[in-house]
Amino acid sequence: MKRVLGGISLLLVSLIYLAPVLFMFIGSLKPDADVLVQAGSWRALWPDTASLENYRNVIARVPFGRYLFNSLFITVAIVAGGLLVNSLAGYAFSRLQFRGRNLLFAVVLALMIIPLEAIAVPLFYQVTLFGWRDTYIVQIIPFIANAFSIYLFYTYFLGLPKELEESARIDGAGVLHTFFLIIAPNALPAFASVAILTFLTQWGAFLWPLMVTSGDAVRPLPLAIATFHSLPPLQWGDIFAFGVMMVAPVILVFIVFQRWFVRGVVATGIKG
């Protein structure tokens, strides 16, 4: 009975979280006139007539393909660069001994509590001096190194047996050789967890692209949907269709890496 009640409770909580996504998906299949009219009843979760007209409207009204490419390129570049930089930093803090190591790691931990909003203005001024505004670089470089990702790699590497590295060093392997051929293959759950968390964070980034971009050329999806919302005529069916196409890649990434993500969560002790 306790297991049944627990399962029912989890199902109800899941439905609460899924309801907005389901409402958005169903609304994207409805004629625009029916999207908000039925919002106050259960009919909102079931379309009387379903079509892909709203999706065709989005593609016809704005360069959605360009926005999608921008978000994919920026996010994948940040994830790939972040996995390399942050994993090497986490490994250095967990295994290497060098002067100032503890102080430097304390600085990294302190950076975890500083939000982007606190440094956005000076960072904006700095990238303006570099001439990076309205480019891909300005949306990628500042976010490759991440204190939280370094900490996750650090905690995971601490749990790996040191015998792996000792055996590699006996065979004459250097630090980088040991890391890439011995440590990294044994830390795939940590890599998957950091990749998913970074992807989710950067895919929905809004404030920084709003500050540093001004045209469609490098505009990502979060900023594009905000602009699309103000583009006349206001059609909620089209907006919902835009939202579905924006959320779909995130869901796909999580489904593909779900098994590794769960293993990484258990191994690194991520809470919440």
Structure confidence by residue, pLDDT tens digits, 14-73: 888 888 888 888 888 888 777 776 556 666 667 677 788 889 999 999 999 999 999 999
Q: What is the 3-state secondary structure (H, E, C) of 195-230?
A: HHHHHHHHHCCCHHHHHHCCCHHHCCHHHHHHHHHC
CATH number of the domain located at residue range(s) 68-233+248-268 in this protein: 1.10.3720.10
Sorted by sequence, the CB contacts under 8 Å of residue 25 that are 6+ apart come out as 240, 244
- Cα–Cα distance measured from residue 202 to residue 29, given in angstroms and rounded to the nearest whole number: 28
pLDDT tens for each residue of 109-143: 888 888 888 899 999 999 999 989 999 999 999 99
Nearest CA-CA partner of 255 in 190, 185, 199: 199
CA angle 230, 233, 235 (to 5 degrees): 85
For residue 28, count CB atoms less than 10 angstroms from its CB and return exposed for 0-12, middle for 13-18, buried for 19 or more.
buried
Write out the two tokens for 209.
């692209």
Residue 95: predicted pLDDT:
87
- Mean pLDDT score of the chain: 86
Token pair 């960072």 is at which residue?
123
In the chain, where the domains are located = 68-233+248-268
The token pair at 31 is 């004629």
What pLDDT, on the 0 to 100 scale, is given for residue 268?
53
